[in-house]
């Protein structure tokens, strides 16, 4: 154990002795918040993995969310064997209310979340807490994750695992925050003060894990990571993300667009943010397409690139919110067509727009690479001039 960690522990313990009334929030305790709904087939294995943690200084706040199976009985069985396991009934309904209830009863200086159908490797809690001790407040700790399933992990989840672990290895999680949730919901840990700074679980919006991730990003938290696998993520047919309407595609897209408009649209960029490449040197300001879509000199252009399913969902949402945007695609059959009253244009429009911000709504990896190459030719930078949304 590093001298820094020992020093931090001494400070916490000393402060606790000086201020007994503050013991609730100054101990080394880790509070694990865990909503539980109909998790009976997997719950024992989950609870056993928590009991097997290498650190003993934790409490589990398990909230039974109207289970119709034997989940509550299993929780009560473990609670009788180990007082660190506390069981509550959700008087309302849903994961957000369950998390609020668990949080209200928590006493730890460090907070994390667990899913009732997953497994913790033995050193998970200790490694995440050590990351926070080493780096101090203002950080969110996470680590590698691994999916597993009785019938094999589906290709989409395997790709997500690989992508997420690559970001985590590079500590680059927030650089792709508009693509997918970049902090795994059951594999993070925060200082209590930092969770409070993110407004904890007071927000009432699903998908709740992605919303919290955005609030971590908004609060300016920095990601610190472990290269150890710290969470085993079970995939099965009855998991909430597969069946609950709160996790439907439109919920994700609308959430991403709202945070994008809030956090990114007012970014100032240098006057040379857009320099066209030779490929587009033949374009002239006299093009009828350009004249029709020209912007005011002081207004940055917002562009959706892609007219597939997700591009259409985004366009429709922006129209409903009365947000001006331009819509481009490379499908010759769609260029010039009106959809929802918006005309689709060729990407050749982009070099003539004022300091554009492009939302890439094209999912195919090869297509994304081709689009990014074009945008790089315009000297547009990721996170300023263009953003991957899928």
- For 90-101, what is the mean pLDDT? 97
Question: Are residues 319 and 218 located together in one domain of the fold?
Answer: no
Question: Are residues 21 and 122 located together in one domain of the fold?
Answer: yes
Q: DSSP states of 116-170 as a string?
A: TT-B--TTHHHHHHHHHHHH-SSEEEEEEEEEE-TT---HHHHHHHHHHHHHHHT
Question: Are residues 56 and 117 located together in one domain of the fold?
Answer: yes
What's residue 186's pLDDT?
96
The domain that holds 324 is classified in CATH as 3.40.50.20
Is residue 19 over pLDDT 80? no
Helices (H), 52-105: 71-81, 95-104
Gap between the Cα atoms of 284 and 274, Å rounded:
15
Question: Are residues 71 and 220 located together in one domain of the fold?
Answer: yes
Which letter does DSSP use for residue 84 in this model?
Answer: T
Question: Are residues 277 and 217 located together in one domain of the fold?
Answer: no
What's residue 244's pLDDT?
62
Of 5 and 111, which is predicted with more confidence? 111
Mean confidence (pLDDT) of the chain: 87
Residue 330 forms part of a structural domain = yes
Gap between the Cα atoms of 239 and 253, Å rounded:
21
Question: Are residues 65 and 156 located together in one domain of the fold?
Answer: yes
What's residue 250's pLDDT?
79
Question: Are residues 320 and 358 located together in one domain of the fold?
Answer: yes
pLDDT tens for each residue of 51-71:
999 999 999 999 999 999 999
Question: Are residues 279 and 241 located together in one domain of the fold?
Answer: no
- Residue 15: pLDDT band (50, 70, 90) is very low
H or E segment at 350?
A: none
The domain that holds 103 is classified in CATH as 3.90.550.10
What percent of the chain shows pLDDT beyond 90?
79
H or E segment at 198?
A: none
Helices (H), the chain: 3-18, 23-26, 40-51, 71-81, 95-104, 124-135, 155-169, 192-197, 208-218, 240-243, 249-263, 288-293, 309-320, 365-377
pLDDT tens for each residue of 206-215:
999 999 999 9
Cα distances from 386 to residues 138, 174, 335, 378, 379, in angstroms, run 27, 14, 21, 11, 10
- On whether the CB atoms of residues 76 and 87 are closer than 8 A, the answer is yes
- For 33-41, what is the mean pLDDT? 97
Give the residue among 255, 253, 274 at the shortest CA–CA distance from 263. Answer: 255
Distance of alpha carbon 309 from its chain centroid, rounded? 22
Question: Are residues 32 and 178 located together in one domain of the fold?
Answer: yes
- On whether the CB atoms of residues 131 and 51 are closer than 8 A, the answer is no
Domain that holds residue 241: 3-247
pLDDT tens for each residue of 284-338:
333 444 434 444 446 899 999 999 999 999 999 999 999 999 999 999 999 999 9
Gap between the Cα atoms of 302 and 315, Å rounded:
11
pTM of the entire structure? 0.87
Question: Are residues 80 and 179 located together in one domain of the fold?
Answer: yes
Question: Are residues 189 and 302 located together in one domain of the fold?
Answer: no
Which letter does DSSP use for residue 335 in this model?
Answer: T
Is residue 372 over pLDDT 60? yes
| Weakest mean pLDDT among 22-26, 235-239, 330-334 | 22-26
What's residue 285's pLDDT?
38
Gap between the Cα atoms of 299 and 354, Å rounded:
7
Question: Are residues 19 and 129 located together in one domain of the fold?
Answer: yes
**Domain end position, chosen among 212, 247, 282:** 247
Residue 359 forms part of a structural domain = yes
How many domains, in total, are found in the chain? Answer: 2
Which letter does DSSP use for residue 382 in this model?
Answer: B
pLDDT tens for each residue of 239-261:
666 566 765 677 899 999 999 99
Gap between the Cα atoms of 75 and 326, Å rounded:
53
Is residue 189 over pLDDT 50? yes
């Amino acid at each position: 154990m590093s001298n820094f960690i020992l020093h931090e522990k001494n400070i916490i313990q000393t402060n606790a002795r000086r201020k007994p009334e503050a013991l609730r929030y100054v101990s080394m305790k880790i509070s694990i918040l865990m909503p539980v709904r109909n998790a009976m087939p997997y719950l024992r294995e989950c609870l056993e993995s928590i009991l097997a943690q290498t650190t003993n200084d934790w409490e589990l706040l398990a909230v039974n969310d109207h289970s119709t199976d034997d989940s509550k009985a299993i929780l009560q069985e473990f609670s009788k064997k180990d007082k660190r396991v506390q069981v509550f009934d959700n008087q309302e309904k849903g994961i957000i209310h369950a998390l609020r209830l668990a949080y209200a009863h928590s006493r730890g200086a460090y907070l994390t979340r667990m899913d009732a159908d997953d497994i913790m490797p033995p050193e998970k809690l200790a490694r995440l807490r050590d990351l926070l001790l080493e780096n101090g407040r203002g950080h969110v700790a996470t680590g590698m994750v691994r999916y597993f399933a009785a019938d094999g992990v589906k290709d989409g989840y395997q790709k997500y695992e690989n992508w997420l672990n690559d970001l985590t290895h590079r500590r680059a999680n927030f650089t792709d925050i508009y693509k997918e949730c970049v902090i795994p919901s059951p594999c993070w840990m925060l200082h209590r003060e930092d969770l409070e700074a993110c407004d904890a679980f007071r927000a009432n919006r699903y998908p709740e894990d992605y919303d919290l991730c955005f609030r971590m990003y908004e609060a300016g938290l920095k990601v610190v990571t472990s290269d150890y696998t710290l969470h085993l993520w079970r995939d099965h047919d009855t998991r909430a993300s597969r069946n609950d309407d709160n996790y439907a595609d439109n919920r994700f897209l609308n959430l991403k667009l709202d945070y994008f408009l809030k956090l990114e649209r007012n970014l100032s960029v240098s006057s040379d943010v857009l320099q066209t490449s030779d490929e587009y040197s033949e374009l002239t300001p006299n093009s009828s397409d350009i004249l029709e879509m020209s912007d005011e000199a002081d207004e940055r252009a917002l562009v959706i690139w892609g007219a597939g399913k997700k591009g259409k969902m985004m366009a429709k949402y922006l129209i409903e919110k009365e947000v001006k945007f331009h819509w481009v695609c490379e499908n010759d059959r769609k260029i010039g067509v009106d959809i929802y009253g918006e005309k689709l244009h060729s990407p050749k429009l982009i070099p003539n727009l004022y300091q554009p911000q492009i939302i890439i709504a094209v999912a195919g990896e090869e297509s994304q690479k081709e689009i990014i190459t074009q945008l790089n030719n315009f000297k547009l930078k990721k996170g300023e001039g263009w953003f991957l949304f899928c």
